């Protein structure tokens, strides 16, 4: 059974700081890995999708890397802003014919002005 762990559970940083969120998974037989953002009282917004054959994806100030063999992914946020405050969720897509996602518990990020 796939298990996804996110560290740290919570993170508070001053505005402008670069930061890294970590995600690890137990079964490396994945199709893809996706990072989401969840604002309080809202649904999930997809940030980045990395296919299993890829090493990283970038979108604006966000960069996500994937090391499938070691079961790890990181989400790098450059020059953080107060608007980045949210819960960040990592989810891995299973192999075979089952594309369902297994989620971590998330990292609650607070960026202080």
Q: Which residues bind other proteins (CB under 8 A)?
A: 31-32, 34, 36, 41-46, 49, 51, 89, 91, 93, 99-101, 103-106
CB 31 to other proteins: min, Å: 5
Residue (55 or 79) nearer to other proteins, CB: 55
Residue (86 or 91) nearer to other proteins, CB: 91
Residue (45 or 81) nearer to other proteins, CB: 45
CB 14 to other proteins: min, Å: 26
Written in H, E and C, the secondary structure of the chain is: CCCEEEECCEEEEECCCCEEEEEEECCCCCCEEEEEEECCCCCEEEEEEEECCCCEEEECCEEEEEECCCCEEEEEECCCCHHHCEEEEEEEECCCCCCCEEECCCEEEEEEC
């Amino acid at each position: 059974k796939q298990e996804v762990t996110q560290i740290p559970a919570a993170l508070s940083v001053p505005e402008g700081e670069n930061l890294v969120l970590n995600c690890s998974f137990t079964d490396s037989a994945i199709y893809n890995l996706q990072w989401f953002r969840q604002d309080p009282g809202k649904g999930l917004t997809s940030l980045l999708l990395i296919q299993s054959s890829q090493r990283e994806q970038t979108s604006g100030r966000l960069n996500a890397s994937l090391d499938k063999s070691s079961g790890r992914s990181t989400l790098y946020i450059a020059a953080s802003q107060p608007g980045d405050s949210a819960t960040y969720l990592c989810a891995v897509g299973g192999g075979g014919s089952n594309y369902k996602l297994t989620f971590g518990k998330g990292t609650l990020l607070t960026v202080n002005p």
